[in-house]
Structure 1
Amino acid sequence: MTKITKPAAGRRGRPRQRAEQQRSIETRVSILDAAIAEFAERGFDGASIRAIADRLGLQHPLITYHYRSKDILWRAAAEHAFTQIRAEWDRSVEAGIDPSPLARLRQEYTTLFRYTVAFPEFHRFMRQETLTNNPRLKWVAEAVLAPLLSRLLPQITEAQKQGLLPAVDPILFHYMMVSLTATLSEFGPEMQVTSGLSSGDPKVVAAYWRLVEEMVFGKEPNDGRRQRQP
């Protein structure tokens, strides 16, 4: 008679363990997205972990299990947002986008713009911290923004050397671009009232960013997605 061998307990447990890990990751992402929205709306002092839990229909202790304090949660939320942006930048490089500084800058600011359109709370979340001089602003500048600037500023400088961008301090160019990427999330409600145009309308979004690109970078053939030549 053929002997039936039972699967090892460790093997049975692995799929369940992976499923639990995936659920934990998804829960943390949901918490961080809800935290950005709460901090964007109420600021750090006005926001509460209980209110974030209410947004998700979760029990308050579940959030403190993952993030022990509001400050830790705020920092994790900031890192979460910028990690998504950096990941999209890296995917663009891997996809073979034209490596010239101007083309890279065009793509990377486009990525930032698309993120703020899809998640307008992000800009408001960051803006809240500029209203007061607080330790979170210094932390995010050093821990999160500095690595991004070390990536962008050399590209701006190189494009300036090639005569493709205005000869100004690169940091001024960067913050001009940040303000342009945030225009729809910042002024969308006002624009809706004054003109009837919706900042959530894909046609409005495309028209606005096409205007920015043509004004700043010039017209680009093939939608800015030139591939590297073999």
Structure 2
Amino acid sequence: MAKQAVRRERPRKRAEQQRSLETRTSILDAAIAEFAARGFEGASIRAIADRLGLQHPLITYHYRSKDILWRAAAEHAFAQIRAGWDSSAPENSDLPPLARLREEYATLFRYTVAFPEFHRFMRQESLSNNPRLKWVAETVLAPLLGRLIPQIVAAQKQGLLPAVDPVLFHYMMVSLTTTLSGFGPEMQATSGRSAEDAKVVEAYWRLVDETVFGTNPGGRNVSGGEARKR
């Protein structure tokens, strides 16, 4: 009987763990949207709870303070980007540096198209010099740069990228990958083109790809089906 009880308990615990994981993911996604819209000072845990239809104490159960929640949200977003990199261009792959960079920046682009709130979330912190910006730079951004910079340098040595400061090249690419998420509403107002239209997404990235990396072999679709539709 004891063994049967243990066997019944394990699936129950796994289900509870899965529900807890899903709840935390929903909280972090809602937190990114709230911080993106209102900034750190204007956002509140209660407003984040309202976005989800949850009770305020449920969020503080998982994240004791707004600062802890902000940091967890940042780590959550960048973990998804890293997971995309590890899938499309793993560090131990045989892809040449330029091909890896193409995949990595395309992954970043896909993420910002699917979740434009992420770009706005980061922009809010860039408007002032604050402890959160310093923390995310040291904890999250530095390791990402440590992965990308050697690839940029290697591609430059092969004569495949401009011989400029690799950090400047990286931030140029960050700007290019976030253009639709940053200027989507303005583009919609001025031209009627939607940054959520898969054809617009594909055309824009094809332009970036051909301009920076050369012709895209095989014409791979970079929208990945992630552009959200209204």
Shorter-chain TM-score tier? over 0.9
C-alpha contact (below 8 Å) 2:206/2:216 kept by paired residues? no
Query: What are the ranges of 5 or more consecutive residues in structure 1 without an aligned counterpart?
Result: 226-230
Shift of residue 11, structure 1, vs aligned partner: 1.2
Corresponding position: 1:43 with 2:34: no
Aligned length: 221
Q: TM-score of the superposition, structure 2-length normalised? A: 0.93
Query: What are the ranges of 5 or more consecutive residues in structure 2 without an aligned counterpart?
Result: 222-230
Equivalent residue runs for 1:1-230 within 5 Å = 8-93=4-89, 99-223=95-219
CA distance in 2, matches of 1:111, 1:92: 8
TM-align CA RMSD: 1.7
CA distance in 2, matches of 1:213, 1:206: 10
Q: Which residue of 2 aligns with 1:228?
A: none
CA distance in 2, matches of 1:203, 1:130: 31
CA distance in 2, matches of 1:77, 1:111: 19
Shift of residue 97, structure 1, vs aligned partner: 6.8
C-alpha contact (below 8 Å) 1:103/1:224 kept by paired residues? no
Q: Rg larger in 1 or in 2?
A: 1
C-alpha contact (below 8 Å) 2:89/2:103 kept by paired residues? no
CA distance in 2, matches of 1:223, 1:16: 46
Q: Percent identity?
A: 79
| 1:142–1:6 distance in 2 versus 1, CA, 3 Å | closer
| 1:61–1:17 distance in 2 versus 1, CA, 3 Å | same
1:206 partner amino acid? E
C-alpha contact (below 8 Å) 2:30/2:51 kept by paired residues? yes
Shift of residue 93, structure 1, vs aligned partner: 3.2
| 1:77–1:223 distance in 2 versus 1, CA, 3 Å | same
CA distance in 1, matches of 2:16, 2:79: 23
CA distance in 2, matches of 1:100, 1:223: 18
CA distance in 2, matches of 1:79, 1:33: 11
CA distance in 1, matches of 2:172, 2:89: 24
1:36 partner amino acid? I
> 1:58-109 CA distances to partner (integer Å, 9 max, x unpaired)?
0000000000000000000000000000011101135x97610000000000
